[in-house]
Amino acid sequence: MTHHHCVLSVIAAMVLSSAALAADAPATPAPATATPAATDAAAKPESAIQRASYGFGMGIGMQMKQEGLELDIAQFVRGISDALAGRQPVLTQEEIQQAVMAIQEETMKKRAADGDNNQKAADAFLAENAKKEGVKTTASGLQYIVVKEGEGKTPTPSDFVEVHYRGTLLSGKEFDSSIQRGKPAQFKLDGVIPGWTEGLQLMKEGGKMKFYIPPKIGYGQRGAGNIIPANSLLVFDVELLKVLGPNDPNAAPEAAEAPHAPETPEAGK
């Protein structure tokens, strides 16, 4: 199950649990005083409760956007309001479960179709790209171009490294860039996708390369949330600034700066 479907499952479990609790509890009468009208959307939250509430909403919204989940905002807010007010849910557990399952099924079908199309596009691109001057292809299918030869150390999988990089999809859309952030990334080489682990071992400090990473040594069928679609070909411009060694104390705090979804994809996903 992908993270996308896990998020849907968690939401479904929360909703169903709330519905079950509401069904067992006595209905709460509406308060005698009407709820105040919604504040101006442009108004800045002032109290701690207002700011925390806004923060919770932003957090949920950002998660939903990242995962590419579509929600009816009005009904989403209605559900929260009903739960907080103790009102009886307007849908049964069965109705909610059926709706969530329908969305999961539709999402899986679309993801599979998109993944197939992306794989075909990646294969076609790599076949033509391999014929171009300066492009080298490894046994894994990784393609790379040496932009600038380095003269320093070459990293091993157990080393932490410091790099600058820019990552784009086949369409040219940029999905991540340490250059844009203005800060080099530091991470352990065996903690990122296989294409990166292999590619950086072909470099020396001070060197620059362009990687063309096939889906099978990238993020594969699972993709990376709503940022990197399933079976995407990844293009990275990489500069190896420094090999920090296996136990560099300054590297560990920056491990989260690795390219998106740094964990190694599971085989067959």
If we measure between CA atoms, which residue out of 163, 188, 184 comes closest to residue 249? 188
What mean pLDDT do residues 187-200 have?
Answer: 94
**Strand (E) or helix (H) holding 212:** strand 208-213
Average pLDDT over all residues of the chain: 81
Q: Report all structural domains of the chain as residue ranges with CATH numbers, in order of start.
A: 3-28+41-106 (no CATH), 130-257 (3.10.50.40)
Residue with the larger pLDDT of the pair 39 and 201: 201
Structure tokens at 149: 């030869």
pTM of this structure = 0.65
* E strand map for 3-65: none
Task: Give the pLDDT confidence of 134-189 residue by residue, as tens digits.
Answer: 999 999 999 999 999 999 999 999 999 999 999 999 999 999 999 999 999 999 99
Q: Where do we find the tokens 């989260």? A: 256
pLDDT at 41: 60
Helices (H) and strands (E) in the chain, counts: 6, 7
pLDDT at 110: 83
- What is the C-alpha separation between 90 and 82, in angstroms, rounded? 9
Residue with the larger pLDDT of the pair 2 and 131: 131
